[in-house]
Amino acid sequence: MGKFISKIKDYVLGLKIRQKIFYPSFIVALCLIFLFSAAFVYIMKRIFEQEWRHNLMTLASTMSMLVSIQSRTDEELGPEREQELLLSLLEPGKMKKQFLYLAVLEPNGKLIGVVKPPGAEDISVEDEGRRYAKRLAQRRIVLVDSLENRMVFASPIYLAGVFRAVLLGSISVLEMNMKVRKVVLLTVGVSLLILLASYFVLRKMADSIAQPVGLLRDAADDLRERRFDSGLEKLKARRWGRDELGFLKESFTFMGENLRQVLERLEDKIALVNADLRLAHEELKKSHKILQEKQKLLEKELDYAREIQIKLLPPLPSLPQFDMYARMQTAASVGGDFYSYRRDREKNLTVIIGDVSGHGVPSALIMVLMREAFSRYAAVLASPQEILTRMNRVACAEFAPEMFTTAFVARFDSQGRKLDFANAGHNLPLFLRGDEVYELDTTGFALGVSPEGHYGLASVELTSGDILFLYTDGLAELRHKSTGEFLGTEKIAALLRQNKGSSARELGLLVERLMREHGGEPPYGDDATFMLIKVL
């Protein structure tokens, strides 16, 4: 089957090459031979015609001259002698076998005598005689005309130097046409032989190109299928000339040998690389398994750490002056946000909310440190300003240079009618009184930035129904689940204003629902914490 398909490909390839080389060349040769044959036949016909015309002119001139010479030798040239001399031209011995007729006419066209061979063509001699007599009267030279199948000649006859008669004759050209036919047949035969020879020569030339090209194509197919031995052996088995195809074969063979060597070297390298990759893959699988085990262990440890962190957050106290609610949502298993509270000996309430830079375990550890520092100083110091100043010293001493903490500290008196507060670079809390919501604004650097940090102190008188809303930046910068827009504080302020009569817990749950509607289900991109205190 493969050999049959290969033969079909060779045949098709041969047809394509013949279409491009053989057929155009053969058509050109055919046209040239046809033009040459036509030109040769035309030239030979003209040569034959001129030869016959010359012979007739010579014959007519000779006959007329003989009569003229004879008339001059006669001593007495009377009418009867003239008639006798003119009729002597019509003697049967002077008629050629090709003659159709021979006639003598007077200069005015009157017929003197005519002779025709038996079975000759019926021709109106008198009409032709009058026509040629008029022409000879104008030009007294021998006239020869070629008609359809014959030639007509007319010659003036002079007796004693006087134009006395016209010699008129017509001769058949069948013999000349026979010679022309022989020339035509000979030319056609020679042309056919030349054409046949051209066909075989051009066919041989086309095959001499088609077969090597077919071998090159088969060799290219074998190389493409990586059958180097069979493809190159086909080229080497054939004898190639020292022409362009031979040069192409040498280049192709050289290229094939180099390609085989390159592929063999490449296969060896690929085998080595595959072996190394298999070993690396096995090592990677082992490493991945170990990492997975470590990841699971780390996740368990982080979950445990988160549980510990949540347990470290103090439960909010139940006080007759205040209604309190707090919530912390971490971005990772453990976070850097925190909140806490402390009551001193005079029953004053001090609360804090803070945000440690970064996420994860380092932030959680710093958060624990800051919460413990707050608990220690809030128990002995009455001013939020002093508490932040002491916490800043601890942060500058213990933190890495790139770590810092923002915090807001608020102190409520025991009667719940006055609020003192200070801010260490934290988000400004929202304060609701009646239908008006505004921010509690003071100045101060974040904890851990500079040991010389100064923190401003401010106060506000409280009335029943006032609401203080503390939060971290993770809540204000919570992105929308579709548009990416920040949550901000305007929606929270509107929610507090619309639900100011609700309890702190009810308000906190509404804030949590707002967070889910805006940012989707947790966890979020950053820790989000808030504390809500309502004055009773």
The DSSP-derived string for 435-457 is TEEEE----BPPBTS-TT--B--
User: Please, what is the average pLDDT of the chain?
Assistant: 80
User: Is residue 177 scored above 60 in pLDDT?
Assistant: yes
> Residues 189, 192, 193, CA angle at the centre, nearest 5°?
90
Q: Using CA atoms, how far apart are residues 461 and 43, in angstroms rounded to an integer?
A: 137
Domain membership flag for residue 219? no
Q: How many domains does the chain have?
A: 3
What count of other Cβ atoms lies within 10 Å of the Cβ of residue 42?
11
User: Is residue 501 scored above 70 in pLDDT?
Assistant: yes
Cα-based distances in Å from 426 to 332, 357, 419: 21, 12, 17
User: Is residue 16 scored above 60 in pLDDT?
Assistant: no
Which pLDDT score is estimated for 22? Answer: 61
Q: Are residues 270 and 361 in the same domain?
A: no
Q: What share of the chain is helix, strand, coil (3-state, %, to 5)?
A: 55, 20, 25
Last residue of a domain, one of 255, 277, 312: 312
- Work out the pLDDT band at 437, boundaries 50, 70, 90: very high
Domain membership flag for residue 222? no
pTM, rounded to two decimals:
0.51
User: Is residue 433 scored above 90 in pLDDT?
Assistant: yes
End-to-end CA distance of the chain: 101
In percent, the amount of the chain with pLDDT more than 70 equals 76
User: Residues with Cβ < 8 Å from 463, sequence gap 6 or more?
Assistant: 417, 433, 535
User: Is residue 14 scored above 60 in pLDDT?
Assistant: no
Strand 337-343 and strand 349-356: the pairing is antiparallel
Domain that holds residue 144: 2-178
Q: Are residues 45 and 174 in the same domain?
A: yes
Q: Are residues 403 and 329 in the same domain?
A: yes
Region of poorest pLDDT, from 4-13, 310-319, 387-396, 404-413: 4-13
Q: Which amino acid is present at 110?
A: K
Identify whether the C-beta of residue 220 lies closer than 8 Å to the C-beta of residue 13. Answer: no
Domain membership flag for residue 192? no
Q: Report, as an integer, the average pLDDT of 130-155.
A: 76
Which pLDDT score is estimated for 388? Answer: 96
Q: Edge to edge, what strands does the sheet with 418-424 contain? A: 337-343, 349-356, 405-412, 418-424, 458-461
Q: What is the pLDDT of residues 344-399, one digit of tens each?
A: 878 889 999 999 987 777 888 888 899 999 999 998 898 999 999 999 999 999 88
Which pLDDT score is estimated for 455? Answer: 94
CATH code, domain carrying 11: 3.30.450.20
Q: Are residues 442 and 308 in the same domain?
A: no
User: Is residue 6 scored above 60 in pLDDT?
Assistant: no
Which pLDDT score is estimated for 56? Answer: 61
Q: Report, as an integer, the average pLDDT of 479-491.
A: 92
Q: Are residues 389 and 323 in the same domain?
A: yes
Identify whether the C-beta of residue 497 lies closer than 8 Å to the C-beta of residue 429. Answer: no
Q: Report, as an integer, the average pLDDT of 242-260.
A: 70
Domain membership flag for residue 332? yes
Q: Are residues 393 and 249 in the same domain?
A: no
DSSP assignment string, 340-371 = EEEE-TT--EEEEEEEESS-HHHHHHHHHHHH
Q: Are residues 297 and 418 in the same domain?
A: no
User: Is residue 140 scored above 80 in pLDDT?
Assistant: no
Q: Are residues 133 and 100 in the same domain?
A: yes
User: Is residue 46 scored above 60 in pLDDT?
Assistant: yes
- Work out the pLDDT band at 459, boundaries 50, 70, 90: very high
Domain membership flag for residue 8? yes
State phi, psi for 149 to the nearest 5 degrees.
Answer: -120, 15
Which pLDDT score is estimated for 73? Answer: 62
CATH code, domain carrying 374: 3.60.40.10
Q: Are residues 161 and 307 in the same domain?
A: no
Better pLDDT: 444 or 30: 444
Region of poorest pLDDT, from 18-27, 148-157, 283-292, 525-534: 18-27
Better pLDDT: 328 or 358: 328
Q: Are residues 325 and 308 in the same domain?
A: no
Identify whether the C-beta of residue 143 lies closer than 8 Å to the C-beta of residue 132. Answer: yes
Q: Using CA atoms, how far apart are residues 233 and 110, in angstroms rounded to an integer?
A: 96
| DSSP-derived 3-state class of residue 92 | helix
Better pLDDT: 383 or 266: 383
Last residue of a domain, one of 178, 208, 228: 178
Better pLDDT: 455 or 41: 455
Better pLDDT: 390 or 3: 390
- Work out the pLDDT band at 499, boundaries 50, 70, 90: very high
In sequence order, the β-bridge partners of residue 335 are none
Domain membership flag for residue 201? no
Strand 111-115 and strand 99-105: the pairing is antiparallel
Give, for 156, the enclosing helix (H) or strand (E): strand 150-159
Q: What is the pLDDT of residues 71-125, one digit of tens each?
A: 666 555 677 777 777 777 777 655 566 677 788 888 887 888 888 777 666 677 7
Q: Report, as an integer, the average pLDDT of 34-54.
A: 73
Domain membership flag for residue 104? yes
User: Is residue 514 scored above 60 in pLDDT?
Assistant: yes
Which pLDDT score is estimated for 238? Answer: 66
Last residue of a domain, one of 312, 328, 343: 312
DSSP assignment string, 278-347 = HHHHHHHHHHHHHHHHHHHHHHHHHHHHHHHHHHHSPPPP--SSEEEEEEEE-SSSS-SEEEEEEE-TT-
In sequence order, the β-bridge partners of residue 437 are 432
- Work out the pLDDT band at 298, boundaries 50, 70, 90: confident
Q: What is the pLDDT of residues 178-195, one digit of tens each?
A: 777 777 788 888 888 887
User: Is residue 463 scored above 90 in pLDDT?
Assistant: yes
Q: Are residues 246 and 159 in the same domain?
A: no
Q: What is the pLDDT of residues 330-341, one digit of tens each?
A: 776 667 889 999
State which of 5-9, 237-241, 504-508 shows the largest mean pLDDT: 504-508
Domain membership flag for residue 210? no
In sequence order, the β-bridge partners of residue 523 are none
Which pLDDT score is estimated for 400? Answer: 81
Q: Are residues 72 and 45 in the same domain?
A: yes
